[in-house]
Structure 1
């Protein structure tokens, strides 16, 4: 199993993730890690419809995802992981799985948040979690689309706060 990207995007699988990211990364599997989606059949159907036909889709709770990742269940796949928010990433870390790098691509719908990039707006709780996870060894970047330059999100947070 090769994890080709880990992305936080509150929209999960949508046109940009499905058409642009998955194809650029040559992903053969998208793993959506979201406790709510893992239990909601309607949301699962919507995610399946958004996923490219030639790409496999797994929709997993955080706990099940950690188990699958630790077991290296997707040996022959180029895996693109998408999750909704920083709290999910924190839960995954607490369960014992640390991703080396996470791309925050789209987080904007929060009150009392600070605009860090065009599509990244974080509140104090999210910033605190990101700093805590960064201290655990996770590198945070921000990149909306593959053609855009990848930037160090911690540097941006430190500049603006």
Structure 2
């Protein structure tokens, strides 16, 4: 399998993903998995601009992403999957995609969220999705940038 990293980040592709994680993991393709983003031409063009030179970009609805991964379409590449919220990744897993580990990055604060860390904010639906991912054996960690210490995300969530 060519999945090198999986990250939840509300900003999708930005400095941390585009530069730090892509370089650290030697990524050749970033895949944004999100039904809404895949339909939004403005958001897609912004993501294309943010993608580092030499790195391919796929912006796919969840079901199409699962089909492509399961068909081996990216087996020769080093793939970083990025999603805005955990429910997208839970649906990927439910479609049969094996995710070993998910790095929970930035989830922005809104009036509806509660804070888990200074940069991770969740609503009840996120908590449920994280619990289901954990039950399915997906390792959940939190590491903002490669030089930060890796923390067990479920420990943070259950505090």
CA distance in 1 between partners of 2:75 and 2:99 (Å): 17
Number of aligned positions between the proteins: 159
Give the drift of 1:112: 4.4
CA distance in 1 between partners of 2:33 and 2:44 (Å): 12
What's the counterpart of residue 4 of structure 2?
4
CA distance in 2 between partners of 1:114 and 1:90 (Å): 21
What's the counterpart of residue 125 of structure 1?
125
CA distance in 2 between partners of 1:97 and 1:2 (Å): 12
Superposed CA offset, 1:22-81 (max 9, x none): 011110110111111211222111111000011011111100000011011012211111
**Aligned-pair Cα RMSD in Å:** 1.4
TM-score with structure 2 length normalisation? 0.93
What's the counterpart of residue 138 of structure 2?
138
What's the counterpart of residue 30 of structure 2?
30
CA distance in 2 between partners of 1:8 and 1:36 (Å): 15
Deviates more, 1:86-95 or 1:58-67: 86-95
Deviates more, 1:117-126 or 1:131-140: 117-126
- Which consecutive aligned stretches of 4+ in structure 1 deviate over 6 angstroms post-superposition? none
Q: How does 1:48-63 map to 2 (within 5 A)?
A: 48-63=48-63
Gaps of 5+ in 1: none
Q: How does 1:1-161 map to 2 (within 5 A)?
A: 1-158=1-158, 160=159
Gaps of 5+ in 2: none
The structure with the largest strand share of the pair is 1
